[in-house]
Structures are given as C-alpha cells and as structure tokens.
Chain A
Amino acid sequence: MTSLYLQSNNCVMEIRRDVFQAIADPTRRAILSLVAVQAMTPGAIAANFNSSRQTISKHIQILNECELLHQTQSGREIYYHLNPQKMKEIDNFIEPFRQMWEDRFNKLESIMKNYKK
C-alpha cells in the first residue's frame, strides 16, 4: 500500500513519468481496457477483479490522478471514463519496454541475493 501512496504523490509532482508507472501495472491496464469499452462505476470495475474493493479503488485513484480516467456524476453514482487524450500522450512506447526490463532485473537481483553468502 505504501508504494501505491508514493506513486500517487509522485503523480502530482512528476506527471509525465507517472503516467507510465500508472500503465506499467497490469491491474491498472486491465481497468483502462474495461473503461475503454464503457464508462463504469467503481463497484462495477471492482467486480471484475479478485482483489479487494479497496485495492481496486486505490488503482482507480492513481489512474484518476494521472488523468488517465475522468469521472462524471450521474445521480448518486460516479462513472469513470477513459481519457483518450491522455492515452494519446503515451506515445513514448520505450517506457513500458524499460519497465519490462526493470521488472526482470529487479527479480534477477533479488533471486541472486539468495546465492550470496
């Protein structure tokens, strides 16, 4: 949870970098592809995942803060939409590639640290 908080704080300070962090997470990408089809309430989004509602709500919060989602109110319900303009800004496809290697190398490092004695 701490890391999620850090990311959402960073998001305010360094939006460009954190848009990529936002989409680097598989759950958040799944959320984006869900709302790309139709606007959804937080409850409807959470219903698609095995994670707790709070976890999904944190993910939604990050996506919202990074402006990948925008919300509209309809009666008592909040609906989340995909912000296609922001998605277009993600034309720098090098960042997901870098993230993929970063994840692999982090794993490599933690595995090999067990061999260190």
Chain B
Amino acid sequence: MEKKTKIHAEENRHDLTITREFDLPVELLFKAYEDPEIVAQWMGTKVIKLESKKHGAWEFETSDPNGNVVFKANGVIHDFIPNEKIVRTFEMDNINFAPQLEFLEFEKLTDGTSKLTMQIIYKSIEHRTNQLKLPFAQGLNMAHNRLEEIVTKLK
C-alpha cells in the first residue's frame, strides 16, 4: 500500500514538509481546517478556541479518559485565505519547546481531489528533532500509563 502522507525532512535543517493528497474537493479539505467541530473530530482534541481569520487565535486541549489534560496547544493565525492557505503558529503548553511556524497550502488537483502541503519551521535543528520524537515518546508514555493503571488496579 502506498503511503499517502509524505514527510520531507532534510538532514540538518530546521524545517520539514508534510504532503498529502485527499480524495476530497479542496473546499471540503479546507472546511476540515476551518470548522472547530470538524477539527475536534479528526484531531481527536477539544477545540477551546478557533478563530478562523487573519489575526485570529486557536487553542486545543486533549484529556485522557480520566479527565486529566494531557496535551494543550495554542497559536495565532497570521493569514487565512479560504481554500488557499493558512499561516499560523503552534506552541505547546507545559513543555519547553519554542513555537513553530506553519504554512498550510491547499491546492485543487481535480474537482474531487486536492493536496495539502504543510511546511513547519522550527527554531533550531534540535527543536525539530525533539518535536519529531514526541509521537513515539507519547506512544510509549501511553503504554506506560496503561501499565500504571493496571498496576494500580492490582493493589
């Protein structure tokens, strides 16, 4: 099976590019980024705030099943052109990482297909490395949390 989502991350650079082609018209792809309720569904997070406009702000919060907040992020929207592009920042709370700058470009391929290109710029090469490592670390953390949960139940 071909990988639909591609990551282009060159060595020793502090940016990377994520690309993905969708079996969706560009309007629907953009709507998935614009509408707070839809964002909440596919990102699997609570959308506290999403002002989809130039100079708007956004805020996400994710909780575990016990209601503890495990992830909190926010940013500002620098540019917002429907069906074309979003420029925004991304910063996580409670973690000592610098904000990152994200350029999202939405492109119509055919009437029914579209492409998203997301360039992320990090403060440093090290910042990019740390940020990339997070999903794997989080996966292991989730496993450890599950382990703790089991151990607690045994007590």
Contacts and interface: CB of A to CB of B under 8 A. Distances in A.
Contacts of A111: 32, 38, 41-42
B28 A112 contact: yes
A100 B142 CA distance: 14
Contacts of A112: 22, 24, 28-29, 31-32, 38
Mostly, the B contact residues are helix
Interface in B11-26: 18, 20, 22-25
A96 B134 CA distance: 9
Contacts of A94: 7, 9, 132
Mostly, the A contact residues are helix
B20 to A, nearest CB: 5
A108 interface: yes
A86 interface: no
Interface of A: 23-24, 26, 29-30, 32-34, 37, 48, 90, 93-94, 96-102, 104-109, 111-113, 115-116
Given A101-B18, A106-B4, 16 more contacts: A24-B139, A30-B142, A93-B133, A94-B9, A96-B136, A97-B7, A97-B132, A97-B134, A102-B3, A105-B5, A108-B29, A109-B22, A109-B23, A111-B42, A112-B24, A115-B31
